[in-house]
Amino acid sequence: MSVDTKVMEMTQPQKDDGNRALHYEENLLWEKKRSDHPGVDFPPVAGTKLRTGVGERGAIGLPQVSEPQALRHFVRMSTWNYSIDHGFFPLGSCTMKHNPRLNEKIARHPGFAHIHPMQPESTVQGALGLMYELQNWLAELTNLPGVCLAPAAGAHGELAGMMTIRRAHEQKGEGKKRRIVLTPDSAHGTNPATAVTCGFEVRNISTKENGMLTVEAFKEALTKTDPDGADIAGMMVTNPNTCGLFEKDIMEVTELLHKAGGYFYCDGANFNALVGKIRPGDFGVDVMHINLHKTFSTPHGGGGPGSGPICCTEELAKYMPVPTVLKGGETYKLEWEDDRPETLGRLKGYQGQFGMHVRALAYMLSHGADGLKQVSEDAVLGANYILRSLEEDYHAPFAHQGSCMHEALLTDKHQKEEGVQTLDIAKALIERGFHPMTVYFPLVLPGTMLIEPTETESKDAMDRFITVMKEIAYEAKAVDAEQYFHGFPHSSPRRRLDEVKAARNPVLRWK
Binding positions for ligand PLP, rule: CB under 6 A: 93-94, 153-155, 188, 190, 238, 242, 267, 269-270, 291, 306, 308
Query: Does residue 451 contact residue 383 with C-beta atoms inside 8 Å?
Result: yes
Chain-centre distance for alpha carbon 475: 31
- Residue number with CB closer to ligand PLP (291 or 324): 291
Could you tell me if 211 and 217 are in contact, meaning their C-beta atoms sit under 8 angstroms apart? no
Contact 139, 234 (CB under 8 A): no
CB of 193 to ligand PLP, least distance (A): 10
CB of residue 62 to ligand PLP, shortest distance in Å: 37
Report in angstroms how near the CB of residue 162 gets to ligand PLP at its nearest.
Answer: 12
- Closest approach, Cβ 222 to ligand PLP, in A, equals 22
Q: How many residues does the chain have?
A: 511
Nearer to ligand PLP, 267 or 412 (CB): 267
Complex with ligand PLP: residue 291 or 411, whichever CB lies closer = 291
Specify the residue, 154 or 234, whose C-beta has the smaller distance to ligand PLP: 154
User: Nearer Cβ to ligand PLP, position 153 or 360?
Assistant: 153
Residue 309 makes CB contacts below 8 A (sequence gap 6+) with 134, 135, 138, 147, 148, 149, 150, 151, 157, 289, 290, 292, 352
What sections of 336-480 are H helices per DSSP?
354-390, 413-416, 422-431, 459-478
Shorter beta-carbon distance to ligand PLP: residue 153 or 399: 153
**Shorter beta-carbon distance to ligand PLP: residue 94 or 408:** 94
Smaller CB separation from ligand PLP, 283 or 488: 283
**Closest of 452, 428, 457 to residue 441, by C-alpha:** 452
Residue with Cβ nearer ligand PLP (298 or 313): 298
Q: How far is CA 347 from CA 152, 323, 351, in A?
A: 9, 9, 10
- Asked if residues 90 and 452 have their Cβ atoms less than 8 Å apart, the reply is yes
> Least CB distance from residue 63 to ligand PLP, whole Å?
35
**Nearest 5 degrees, angle CA 268-CA 410-CA 249?**
45
Q: Strands, DSSP E only, in 136-262?
A: 146-148, 180-184, 201-205, 232-238
For the CB of residue 245, give the shortest distance to ligand PLP in the complex, in Å.
Answer: 13
Residue number with the smallest Cβ distance to ligand PLP: 154
What DSSP line would sit under 5-38, residue for residue? Answer: HHHHHHHS--TT----S-PPP---GGGSPPPSS-
State the nearest-atom distance from the C-beta of 305 to ligand PLP, in Å. Answer: 10
Closer by beta carbon to ligand PLP, 273 or else 322: 273
- Most distant CA pair in the chain, distance: 84
Helix, strand or coil, per DSSP, at residue 338: coil
Dihedral of CA atoms 400, 402, 408, 414 in degrees, nearest 10, equals 10
Sheet holding 438-439, edge to edge: 408-411, 448-451, 438-439
Phi, psi of 203 (to 5 degrees): -120, 130
**Strand residue runs (E) in 85-200:** 146-148, 180-184
Asked whether the beta carbons of 431 and 484 are under 8 A apart, the reply is: no
Question: Of the candidates 133, 131, 136, which has an alpha carbon nearest to the alpha carbon of residue 146?
Answer: 136
Whole-number minimum distance, CB 308 to ligand PLP, in Å? Answer: 6
Closer residue to ligand PLP (CB): 65 or 253: 253
Question: Rounded distance, CA 500 to CA 507, Å?
Answer: 13
Shortest distance in whole angstroms from residue 170 CB to ligand PLP: 25
Give the nearest distance from C-beta 317 to ligand PLP in angstroms: 22
Cβ at position 300, least distance to ligand PLP in Å: 7
Smallest separation (angstroms) from ligand PLP to the CB of 177: 28
Nearer to ligand PLP, 65 or 310 (CB): 310
